[in-house]
Structure 1
Amino acid sequence: MNKVKDLERLKSSGVVAVLRRVPKAKLFPLVETLISAGVNVLELTVDSEDSYQSIKELREQFSDQALIGAGTVLTTDEANQAIDAGAQFVFSPSFNEEVVKLSVEREVISIPGVMTPTEMVKAHQAGADVVKIFPASAVGPKYLKDLQGPLGHIPMIPTGGVNVDNTASFIRNGAVAVGIGGSLIDNQLIEQDDWAALKEKAEAFKAEVEKGRGA
């Protein structure tokens, strides 16, 4: 594993797609669609069907094309299983110091969920590579801007409530990337196998990231 390179890849992408409980039969065509749209950082939540096996299979098939990680990781046991399966990063909705330290020891990217400045500093001091501002809908883009003065050295990824209308604003206000779930991973489109529409959604988010970066 090359954690430094993986971290650069994550930040460069700007979009982390959150795949939660996607039916196994739809998972691979969904991943292929996202990658084709330039969304190549994929978080598979561990509460998904057969999640650890799916992480393993995704790494085997897409290791050259995408960064594959685990999400909704709450315990060290879940973190270990995910990393054993090949997860390149560990996303959590909360800050668990033991999960962070385990991820650091096993040389994968650690991204715990935080909300307050105190949590951000504690997570960063524990070794977190990035912090997940969650739920971002509760605070909005300006919150990240306000944090940049004292805490701009800590990379931040807002998740929860990020949509195509606020993505550029989050990036403009300091986010290194955004985590996107339901506003991108549309269950109805997946059920209908409407991969063209899903690709358009993914491309729109990528365009908003570039707009936020001033491209």
Structure 2
Amino acid sequence: MTDASPFCLPLVAILRGITPDESVAHVGELVAEGYDAIEIPLNSPDWREGIARAVQAHGDAAWIGGGTVLQPEQVDVLHGVGARFIVTPNTNPTLIRHAVDAGLQVVAGFATASEAFAALDAGAQMLKLFPAATYGPGHVRALRAVLPKGTPLYVVGGVTPESLSSWLASGADGAGIGGELYLPGQSPETTRAHARAFRLALADARA
């Protein structure tokens, strides 16, 4: 499937390790900064409650999703609390089909062309090269030569404000930003400051 990304800002904010008590404030700062795709990975404390609270508070303004999704049962929980997308760290066609059947957007993790096509064949609407820093922008450029035109491709893992432009120039549509955006325990204001640095880097890359 090669539909365009539904995210207006092509930066997925990843809040790995955030707690339910923190999620609403941090997501609120991201929304205020113009982010409309926010991922809470499932290896975060009490992720179900954290995602549910974020959806209740900000689900009308942003896509709230779960990351590091590995099991169909987790997809069902996410669907039940109102998450709109999932992100996987790997290519699992059975999981992808289950999530698509549930009506969720799937950002499927992959590394090779074979994995990318397996994910697309299973119905994934978007691809996530992970870990991107291991492969480099040249890998994205080579993949673009064989992937179906228009396939949304995001890069995740080691992306910084300084390197974002090179990824976009290589053919990536956007990026997922994790450790450079959020570390457990930091303030919501710090999260917003980091988010702004990426947003400004995106604007510079597009100029």
TM-score by length of 1: 0.88
Contact 1:91–1:110, Cα closer than 8 Å, also in 2: yes
Q: Counterpart amino acid of 1:132?
A: K
Whether 1:200 aligns to 2:185 is no
Counterparts of residues 145-184 of structure 1 (less than 5 Å):
145-153=141-149, 154-184=151-181
2:46 maps to 50
Indicate the SS of the match to 1:206: helix
Q: Counterpart amino acid of 1:110?
A: V
Shift of 1:152: 5.0
TM-score by length of 2: 0.91
1:126 maps to 122
Shift of 1:124: 0.7
Indicate the SS of the match to 2:73: helix
Shift of 1:8: 4.3
**1:6-39: CA deviation from partner (whole Å, max 9, x where unpaired):** x6442x2111011111133322221111112112
Contact 2:5–2:126, Cα closer than 8 Å, also in 1: no
Unmatched runs of 5 consecutive residues or more in structure 2: none
Unmatched runs of 5 consecutive residues or more in structure 1: none
- The ranges of structure 1 where at least 4 consecutive aligned residues each deviate by more than 6 angstroms after the TM superposition are none
Q: Counterpart amino acid of 2:87?
A: F
**1:123-179: CA deviation from partner (whole Å, max 9, x where unpaired):** 111111011100001011221112112115222111111111111211222112200
**Selected match of 1:209 from 187, 194, 202:** 202
Whether 1:81 aligns to 2:77 is yes
Indicate the SS of the match to 2:157: coil
- d(CA) in 1 for partners of 2:43 and 2:183? 18
2:86 maps to 90
- d(CA) in 2 for partners of 1:128 and 1:67? 17
Indicate the SS of the match to 1:64: coil
- d(CA) in 2 for partners of 1:142 and 1:115? 13
1:59 maps to 55
- d(CA) in 2 for partners of 1:8 and 1:157? 10
Aligned Cα RMSD in Å? Answer: 1.7
- d(CA) in 1 for partners of 2:5 and 2:89? 22
Identity %: 27
Contact 1:55–1:85, Cα closer than 8 Å, also in 2: yes
Whether 1:142 aligns to 2:143 is no
- d(CA) in 2 for partners of 1:156 and 1:118? 15
Q: Counterpart amino acid of 1:21?
A: G
Instruction: Point out the structure with the larger helix share.
Output: 1
Contact 2:70–2:88, Cα closer than 8 Å, also in 1: yes
